[in-house]
Amino acid sequence: MLVVEQYERLSDLERVKYLESHVAEDTDLGESFLVGALESEVNPQAKWLLVKGLGIRRSRSAVALILRICRGPNASIGGGSLHAICAWSLGRIGQSAFHGVAALLEDSSPDTRKCAVDALGELRDARGIEAVRVALEKDVPEVQLWAALTLAKIGQPSVRSLHDVMARTSGRTRLLVLDAICRIGSRDSVPVISKVLRQGLREERLWILERGQAFYSELKEDLVACVRLADKEVSESAASALRAIGSS
């Protein structure tokens, strides 16, 4: 096993290969090595592996260092990104990371704010609901998308906030809210979903009919009403939902 000083003398490729041999589903690298190596690392792929290792280790001492990376430029790594692994690791570290993560929502960079809402979703901490709700309503589209996903991950505690946003938004934001509500599938949302099926826009009805399987059994009358609509796509989607109930 290398010490930090030896690791730093390796080339970029050698450092990545070394980390790949020690960081996978688990890691045999110690917390002090991971922190020390990350402090001076500039290669994005090596950073990704070090951050993952620190998440595996649930390293509280690494929170400030990982937050610093969240404030820096993002980088695509394989099928993921540097910011995404930061969010995952902060979620693994847990509640001690909450306040630092929440503070990132005030950053001027949309990439950093997206990382923050992603991390709050990994933390699944209900204290973040209000800040994420604001991001869902007011931030740029990419951050709004991740804010909706985060509220869905937090689950039942987010339902009331999602209903509130639903009542005062329209267009794409309203669809994101519907998606989060459907992902959670709370019975508390049945009246909201019923109202959309009865009175909502065409795209909202279709969104629910495609994603709202958790509600089908509670909405039989609304589905029957949709079948009777002149809109062929809505009618056929509602008929398919009714058949799904019959086959369950």
**Mean pLDDT, range 211-230, rounded to an integer:** 94
Secondary structure (3-state) at 197:
helix
Please give the angle made by the CA atoms of 105, 76 and 150, to the nearest 5 degrees. Answer: 35
Residue 5, Cβ density class (10 Å: 0-12 exposed, 13-18 middle, ≥19 buried): exposed
**Mean pLDDT, range 184-211, rounded to an integer:** 95
Q: Give 89-125 pLDDT, tens digit per residue.
A: 999 999 999 999 999 999 999 999 999 999 999 999 9
In this structure, are strands 76-77 and 80-81 parallel, antiparallel, or unpaired? antiparallel
Q: Which alpha helices (H) appear in 41-140, and where do they start and end?
A: 44-56, 63-70, 82-93, 98-103, 110-123, 129-138
The residues with which 27 forms a beta bridge, in sequence order, are 23
Q: Give 5-37 pLDDT, tens digit per residue.
A: 999 999 999 999 999 999 999 999 999 999 999
**Mean pLDDT, range 223-231, rounded to an integer:** 95
pLDDT over threshold 50, residue 248: no
What local confidence, expressed as pLDDT, does residue 144 receive? 97
The reported pTM is 0.90
Token output for 134:
């604001």
- Residue 130's pLDDT band, with cuts at 50, 70 and 90, is very high
- Residue 245's pLDDT band, with cuts at 50, 70 and 90, is confident
Q: In 3D, which of 20, 15, 78 has the Cα closest to residue 52?
A: 20
Q: Report DSSP letters for 137-197, one per residue.
A: HHS-HHHHHHHHHHHHHH-GGGHHHHHHHHHH--HHHHHHHHHHHHHH--GGGHHHHHHHH
